[in-house]
């Protein structure tokens, strides 16, 4: 057995050499891994399948040192992922790892109910519809998860780097409501629109809501992105393009193994020019942060509220041998001024709070100073003009 794994390790060293990697240290570490594996499999008090040691131990342990979102898929999970990417069937849009007493999210489909609710790779489901999962065996866990696909699910989630459990509500795709759920006049000539997520139709829904409220004739607009977990990137770009001139940068993506990609407002767009205020809070994430960051960096409008969540990463899926796969963080999204939207990752976990004075400073299009360090920091809170106060997230203020 040990000879077999040493041969496999040598193949890993050869592959690294082909990529021009210094293999001296890698060879030593691989040999140490093989030694630990051989002793555990041969001398352990109980026999453990090699697949369990590798698929559920060594590989996930390695990826945890990178970030909470990179994940390895065993053959069953990778088959689910391929089916989820090509299927037209409805559901929550997640791939999970089910172990005794533990359900870990490995992948969330873009624009799915899971992503709209804020669920992310690395999250652990702790309670589902008032049922604690900690004492259930895998078969019972599968039954509980299966029952949630027919109705709204109330879930408590443990997120890496976050001490308290986070409440998440997931609604199956058949029951989804429009992402723009409120649009009304908050004051004379001042529109208010709330987008609860970004899906394929959100950009169109926001445009239609603006037109119903007065279109280009509005004096100003309040765009409420609080508690918006993000979703479809294209919808976020479509939304930002409605407020910025053609050729204006919206975001860029940079990573070690890829060229810098910049996204600008395409030609042919006629932007709205009325005043704009964007509301965010600590649950504003991902695609929502892209919109808020672009408005702030291009000095297009005020960003009000609390610092956003800080999730802005690009994931790529790599097929591996044995019908397995790997989802790996390969790049990060940056606002037009160069700020990373993603919070810093330390030892595979989201880092804690960083002091304001420690965060690097960047400049907006007009030279205003804004702080980096992950997420979008408005630096401003409180009311919006016209004597109208900002309602709480999910609160009232009008109908529509």
- Mark whether 241 and 270 lie in a shared domain: yes
Each residue's pLDDT tens digit, 355-367:
545 678 999 999 9
The CA-atom distances, in angstroms, between 347 and each of 61, 360, 396 are 11, 21, 42
- Mark whether 166 and 134 lie in a shared domain: yes
Q: Is residue 224 part of a domain?
A: yes
- CB within 8 A of 282, min separation 6: which ones? 306, 307, 308, 309
- Mark whether 160 and 221 lie in a shared domain: no
- Spatial separation of the C-alpha atoms in residues 41 and 51, rounded to whole Å: 11
pTM of the predicted model, to two decimals? 0.72
Helix/strand/coil (H/E/C) assignment for every residue in 294-355:
HHHHCCCCEEEECCCCCCCEEEEEEECHHHCEEEEEEEEEECCCCCECCCCEECCEECCCCC
Count up the domains in the chain and report the number: 3
- Spatial separation of the C-alpha atoms in residues 13 and 229, rounded to whole Å: 41
pLDDT band at 385, cuts 50/70/90? very low
- Spatial separation of the C-alpha atoms in residues 198 and 228, rounded to whole Å: 8
- CB within 8 A of 88, min separation 6: which ones? none
- Mark whether 217 and 366 lie in a shared domain: yes
Higher pLDDT, 381 or 138: 138
The CATH number of whichever domain residue 95 belongs to comes to 2.30.42.10
- Mark whether 148 and 200 lie in a shared domain: no
Closest Cα to residue 391, out of 145, 201, 226?
226
- CB within 8 A of 149, min separation 6: which ones? 91, 92, 172
Write down the residue that tokens 């499999």 correspond to. Answer: 41
Token pair recorded at residue 389: 């106060």
- Mark whether 94 and 206 lie in a shared domain: no
Query: Above 50 in pLDDT, residue 383?
Result: no
Query: Above 60 in pLDDT, residue 349?
Result: no
Highest mean pLDDT among 49-63, 339-353, 370-384: 49-63
- Mark whether 115 and 200 lie in a shared domain: no
What percent of the chain has pLDDT above 90?
31
In this structure, are residues 149 and 183 in contact, taking their beta carbons and an 8 Å threshold? no
The single-letter DSSP state of residue 150 is: G
Whole domain around residue 150: which residue ranges? 89-176
Q: Is residue 134 part of a domain?
A: yes
Each residue's pLDDT tens digit, 284-328:
988 999 999 999 999 999 999 999 989 888 888 888 888 888 888
**Chain-centre distance for alpha carbon 68:** 11
- Mark whether 193 and 300 lie in a shared domain: yes
Cβ-in-10-Å burial (0-12, 13-18, 19+) of 223 comes to buried
- Mark whether 169 and 231 lie in a shared domain: no
- Mark whether 337 and 209 lie in a shared domain: yes
Helix axes 233-241, 202-213, angle to 10 degrees: 30
| pLDDT at residue 386 in the model | 41
- Spatial separation of the C-alpha atoms in residues 132 and 158, rounded to whole Å: 12
- Mark whether 335 and 211 lie in a shared domain: yes
- Mark whether 139 and 192 lie in a shared domain: no
Q: Is residue 13 part of a domain?
A: no
Highest mean pLDDT among 86-100, 114-128, 305-319: 305-319
Each residue's pLDDT tens digit, 158-189:
988 777 899 988 876 654 568 898 999 999 99
Which range among 74-78, 194-198, 317-321 shows the weakest confidence by mean pLDDT? 74-78
In this structure, are residues 250 and 217 in contact, taking their beta carbons and an 8 Å threshold? no
Q: Is residue 379 part of a domain?
A: no
Give the residues across from 327 on adjacent strands.
Answer: 71, 317
Strands (E), the chain: 71-73, 94-99, 102-108, 124-128, 131-132, 153-158, 166-170, 180-187, 190-195, 220-224, 249-255, 258-264, 275-280, 302-305, 313-319, 325-334, 345-346, 349-350, 361-363, 369-371
Instruction: Compute the mean pLDDT over every residue in the chain, rounded to the nearest whole number.
Output: 80
Closest Cα to residue 341, out of 365, 362, 369?
362
Each residue's pLDDT tens digit, 1-46:
444 444 444 445 445 455 555 566 777 887 888 888 888 888 888 8
Higher pLDDT, 276 or 136: 276
């Amino acid at each position: 057995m040990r000879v077999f794994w040493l041969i496999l390790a040598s193949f890993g060293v050869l592959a690294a050499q082909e990529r021009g990697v210094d293999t001296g240290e890698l060879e030593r570490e691989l040999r140490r891994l093989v030694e630990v594996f051989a002793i555990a499999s041969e001398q352990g008090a109980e026999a453990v399948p090699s697949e369990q040691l590798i698929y559920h131990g060594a590989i996930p342990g390695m990826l945890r040192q990178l970030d909470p979102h990179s994940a390895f898929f065993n053959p069953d999970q990778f088959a689910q992922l391929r089916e989820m990417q090509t299927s037209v069937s409805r559901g929550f849009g997640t791939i999970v790892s089910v172990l005794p007493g533990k359900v870990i999210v490995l992948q969330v489909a873009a624009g799915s109910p899971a992503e709209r609710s804020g669920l992310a790779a690395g999250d652990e489901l702790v309670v589902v519809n008032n049922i604690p999962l900690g004492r259930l065996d895998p078969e019972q866990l599968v039954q509980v998860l299966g029952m949630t696909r027919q109705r709204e699910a109330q879930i408590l989630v443990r997120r890496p780097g976050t001490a308290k459990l986070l409440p998440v509500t997931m609604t199956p795709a058949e029951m989804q409501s429009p992402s723009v759920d409120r649009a009304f006049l908050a004051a004379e000539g001042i529109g208010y629109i709330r987008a609860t997520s970004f899906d394929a139709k959100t950009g169109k829904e926001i445009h239609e809501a603006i037109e119903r409220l007065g279109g280009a004739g509005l004096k100003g607009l309040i765009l409420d992105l609080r508690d918006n977990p993000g979703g479809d990137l294209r919808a976020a770009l479509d939304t930002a393009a409605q407020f910025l001139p053609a050729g204006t940068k919206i975001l860029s993506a940079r990573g070690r193994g890829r060229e810098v990609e910049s996204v600008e407002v395409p030609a042919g767009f006629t932007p709205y020019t009325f005043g704009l205020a964007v509301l965010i809070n600590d649950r504003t994430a991902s695609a929502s942060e892209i919109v808020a960051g672009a408005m702030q960096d291009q000095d297009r409008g005020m960003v009000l509220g609390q610092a956003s969540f800080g999730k802005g990463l690009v994931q790529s899926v790599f097929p591996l041998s044995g019908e397995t796969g790997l989802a790996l963080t390969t790049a990060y999204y940056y606002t037009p001024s160069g700020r990373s939207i993603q919070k810093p990752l330390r030892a595979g976990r989201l880092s804690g709070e960083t002091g304001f004075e420690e965060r690097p400073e960047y400049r907006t299009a007009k030279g205003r100073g804004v702080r980096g360090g992950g997420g979008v920091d408005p630096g401003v809170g409180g009311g919006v003009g016209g004597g109208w106060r900002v309602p709480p997230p999910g609160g009232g203020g009008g109908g529509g």
